[in-house]
């Protein structure tokens, strides 16, 4: 079963994400799960009858908005399931067991400069970092969502191979040119012959056809990825995330979060599987549309 999860806060940018999800769903005959989380502020008057009545009214209004959204014309012909939750962080719901089997998460985000703080702030950053499914972050609404070319930025070491299987699905689906991109910084210098060998081995491993190898110098990796993608006018940036949490995340940050936050074009982020997950899932090649996202 192919399933696309779309969290919504009923904002314009969340609507952009839903419209893109609908285009992808129609292309691969996937179903959409549309979910909304309402965070109701705590109150010392929670036991008060009038407070409880107000709470119920807010819930009814939110459910009505969810129903109205699900009835929009662009969703006609798509199997759709609605899910409503309250008083749980969106990222915990999206990354939890309830949605552990979804194949793609599509998130709406503000344009260049930051996230929508009502829903898409720290919650979006955590979803990008922690979700097991690929996360597609959408800012602007294209007339037609298409990926003529994509940038896949990586170190191209062994850990990248399992994540790329899911990225390659989109390249095959949209017949995209893939810019395999290795950023070289002063801090992490690597000679051109070594980088070329990694990139060539990677392309051969996946039997890529429509691709190019690119080695790009920049002061830091995030700037290099964004500048290269802008120069090539790529339609999408695909990148991995290590899913760091706690102290490790404070020290290392997340490149995927930074790219999604500062780059206006769509960003597809994939969490690198743990070593145990990678060992249990052999790398396969080709496109299996019936098992989209299960790699």
d(CA 227, CA 79): 39
Greater confidence (31 vs 59) lies with 31
- 143 assigned to some structural domain: no
Query: In a 3-state reduction of DSSP, which class is residue 176?
Result: coil
Where on the phi/psi map is residue 131: left (φ > 0), alpha (ψ -120 to 50), or beta? beta
pLDDT at 180: 97
- CATH number for position 162: 3.40.50.620
Sequence-distant (6+) residues with CB within 8 A of 33 are 3, 4, 5, 6, 80, 81, 82, 83, 99, 102
- Model pTM? 0.82
Q: Is residue 260 part of a domain?
A: yes
Q: What are 197's two structure tokens?
A: 């060998």
* 237 and 115 in a common domain: no
Average per-residue pLDDT for the chain:
81
Q: With bands split at pLDDT 50, 70 and 90, how would you rate the model's confidence at 98?
A: confident
Residues 161 and 234 grouped into a single domain: yes
**What is the enclosing helix (H) or strand (E) of 159?**
none
Q: Which domain holds residue 168?
A: 149-291
Contact 120, 135 (CB under 8 A): no
Residues 18 and 119 in one domain: yes
Which of 70-84, 136-150, 281-295 reaches the highest mean pLDDT?
Answer: 70-84
Residues 54, 62: Cα–Cα separation, whole Å: 13
Instruction: Give yes or no: residues 181 and 263 share one domain.
Output: yes
């Amino acid at each position: 079963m192919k399933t696309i999860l779309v969290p919504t806060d009923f904002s314009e940018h969340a609507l952009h994400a839903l419209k893109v999800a609908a285009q992808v769903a129609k292309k691969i005959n996937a179903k959409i799960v549309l979910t909304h989380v309402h965070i109701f502020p705590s109150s010392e008057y929670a036991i008060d009858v009038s407070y409880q009545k107000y709470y119920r009214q807010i819930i009814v209004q939110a459910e009505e908005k969810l129903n109205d959204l699900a009835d929009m014309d662009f969703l006609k012909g798509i199997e759709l399931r609605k899910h409503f939750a309250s008083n749980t962080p969106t990222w915990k719901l999206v990354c939890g067991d309830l949605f552990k089997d979804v194949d793609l998460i599509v998130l709406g985000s503000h344009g260049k400069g930051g996230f929508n703080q009502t829903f898409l702030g720290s919650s979006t950053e955590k979803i990008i970092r922690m979700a097991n499914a690929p996360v597609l972050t959408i800012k602007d609404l294209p007339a037609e969502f298409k990926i003529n070319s994509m940038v896949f930025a990586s170190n191209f070491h062994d850990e990248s191979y399992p994540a790329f299987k899911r990225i390659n699905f989109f390249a095959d689906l949209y017949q995209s040119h893939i810019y395999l991109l290795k950023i070289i910084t002063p801090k992490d210098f690597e000679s051109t012959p070594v980088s070329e060998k990694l990139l060539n081995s990677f392309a051969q491993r996946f039997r890529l056809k429509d691709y190019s190898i690119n080695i790009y110098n920049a002061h830091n990796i995030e700037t290099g990825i964004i500048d290269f993608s802008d120069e090539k006018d790529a339609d999408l940036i695909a990148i991995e995330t290590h899913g760091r949490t706690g102290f490790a995340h404070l020290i290392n940050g997340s490149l995927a979060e930074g790219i999604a936050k500062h780059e206006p074009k769509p960003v597809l982020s994939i969490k690198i599987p743990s070593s145990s997950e990678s060992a249990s899932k052999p790398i396969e090649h080709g496109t299996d549309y019936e098992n989209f996202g299960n790699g």
